[in-house]
Structure 1
Amino acid sequence: MGVNWTNHDMVFQRIVTVQYGDSMYDFDGERETLAAIRDAIAAHQRLLERGILHGDISLGNILFGGPHAPEDLRGVLIDLDVAVEAQFDENPIGHGFSGTFPCISLLQLHGKGRRFKVAHDYFDDLESFFWVLIQIIYDHDFYDEQPWAKEFFYHCRIEDVVQAADAKRAFLAHKLEKSDMPMWWSEECRELVIGFQAFVNAVVTDKEAIVGDMTEMWDIEALRKMRTRREEHYGCVLGMFDVALSALE
């Protein structure tokens, strides 16, 4: 029995870029690391302004800009293989699920399989940047010595959406103190982490109040109104990084 194939014209493309540095897995210097995350967040904002949502923020998808990289190129956002057109306001209910598990946002985890799951939006990606930073702050040498940190990362990595969501909700609800973080990080860096946690917790709490448990329809306009403050949200996060980086010069 024959098979009818539909032919589509295809165009081969090759993109040549400059050679960038290592991935965030190979983080070393404190200021270099914070600058890379900061510039990756700024790149994410520029993508969004062009109508593209990255959708897979992770340690492996941020590269260092390389030696002597100029500001705005100290961190490079790569791997747009799951990137989509930013249509979360037009299509507020989204059943898609993407991302690298340890960095997936709380509400995307919580909503998986729910009938009225909120669509992936820029809030989710900003939260993923926070989890990238947390993985770096509590690196292996530290959490191997701290039972609570080891347990937290275990739940974030086993790909159980319920356990991962519960672990992240508990982490956000616990107000971080400087003493909760390894002392080899500077005071400015630890203040940044505390501020970033407070920002993410506030956003997640506000979104939770709107979407509930996502088993029934929620107020779409309330979430759209929250997203109208996009510039303010990016400005708040980038501002915290800029303050820390300025102090570390």
Structure 2
Amino acid sequence: MPKVPLPPHSPMSGYYIKTDAPKNVPVREALGIPEAKKGSRVLYILVFRKLDLITALYGIELFDVWRQCILCHIVLWKGRVYHLDVSPGNLMCYKKDGRWIGVLNDYDLSSLKINAGPTGNERTGTVPFMALDLLTPEGQQGEVAHLYRHDLESFVWVLVWVCLRYENRVLLAASSRLLDDWATVGPVSCGDKKRTFLDRFVHFKRDWMDPKIWKLLVQCLKVLEGDKHRRLNRTGIRARQKHERRGRRITCL
């Protein structure tokens, strides 16, 4: 595979240390995990420049860094480097010459190939930000291929998360903070909650939100809402067709 030149918004490591061998195989074997050596981890210690989280930004600065991270993601994807874990903790930034520079960080779950199913006995990703297609029983069982649009959808969920949970760069108190339950339930339940959110998101606008950011969010969420309804319609059609085929078989018997 040809080498992919690193885009300017990817992290630059100044130093790293690699451990000798996977350390978690004995633990996985003791737990009786099938194929314990498959997907085992090797510890790397990496040293990078100090970065700030995207949650430290607001308004146009937030949008600009978010956009830069998307552009970095596109370049890497075209070069067959698949991040697969877009989340607020992985969208970072630093200031240079008075401007915030976005960095798509943390490639622990990244891959150089896309499989229909998960590797290492698990579906990778941070649940609250995973695409709806992947937050289904089929998605969690590895029956849904991870596509580019799934990571792009994750960028939308990140922006939703930051805009609704932070006021002027400060995390809201738990009593007034939205979406906490997305991070405390399982993947399929989280998907259900996010689908419900899509039906009601217009009611969640906050006074402190930048109007341009809110307009962008509405446009993005309307696309996801429309896609959700199209999937439901297709599912309903398939269910009816299955029922009709079953009825014909019974009639023939």
Which TM-score applies when normalising by structure 1?
0.63
C-alpha change, 1:209 and 1:66, in structure 2 (3 Å) is: farther
Alpha-carbon distance between aligned partners in 2 of 1:16 and 1:195, rounded to the nearest angstrom: 38
Q: 1:2-151 maps to which residues of 2 (within 5 A)?
A: 19=49, 21-25=51-55, 27-68=56-97, 74-87=101-114, 93-95=116-118, 96-111=122-137, 117-139=143-165, 140-141=171-172, 144-145=175-176, 149=178
Counterpart contact for 2:123–2:140, Cα < 8 Å: no
Offset at 1:57? 0.4
Offset at 1:113? 6.9
Q: 1:151-190 maps to which residues of 2 (within 5 A)?
A: 153-174=179-200, 176=202, 180-190=204-214
**AA of the residue aligned to 2:219:** G
Alpha-carbon distance between aligned partners in 2 of 1:159 and 1:45, rounded to the nearest angstrom: 30
Q: 1:221-240 maps to which residues of 2 (within 5 A)?
A: none
Counterpart contact for 2:129–2:158, Cα < 8 Å: yes
Unaligned runs of 5+ in 2: 1-43, 166-170, 239-253
**AA of the residue aligned to 1:50:** G
C-alpha change, 1:66 and 1:137, in structure 2 (3 Å) is: same
Deviates more, 1:40-49 or 1:109-118: 109-118
C-alpha change, 1:107 and 1:186, in structure 2 (3 Å) is: same
Alpha-carbon distance between aligned partners in 1 of 2:109 and 2:175, rounded to the nearest angstrom: 33
Q: Which has the higher contact order (CA 8 A, sep 6+)?
A: 1
* Percent identity of equivalent pairs: 25
Alpha-carbon distance between aligned partners in 2 of 1:130 and 1:143, rounded to the nearest angstrom: 23
C-alpha change, 1:84 and 1:111, in structure 2 (3 Å) is: farther
Q: Deviations over 1:48-95 (max 9, x none)?
A: 11012110001111111324376xx721101111112343xxx5x324
Equivalent pairs, count: 187
C-alpha change, 1:210 and 1:61, in structure 2 (3 Å) is: farther
**AA of the residue aligned to 1:75:** G
Classify the secondary structure of the residue corresponding to 1:65: strand
Alpha-carbon distance between aligned partners in 2 of 1:31 and 1:99, rounded to the nearest angstrom: 27
Alpha-carbon distance between aligned partners in 2 of 1:209 and 1:94, rounded to the nearest angstrom: 25
Alpha-carbon distance between aligned partners in 2 of 1:14 and 1:114, rounded to the nearest angstrom: 30
Alpha-carbon distance between aligned partners in 2 of 1:94 and 1:209, rounded to the nearest angstrom: 25
Q: Deviations over 1:168-226 (max 9, x none)?
A: 1111233526xx311112211110110111223334555566688x9xxxxxxxxxxxx
Unaligned runs of 5+ in 1: 1-12, 215-249
Offset at 1:111? 3.2
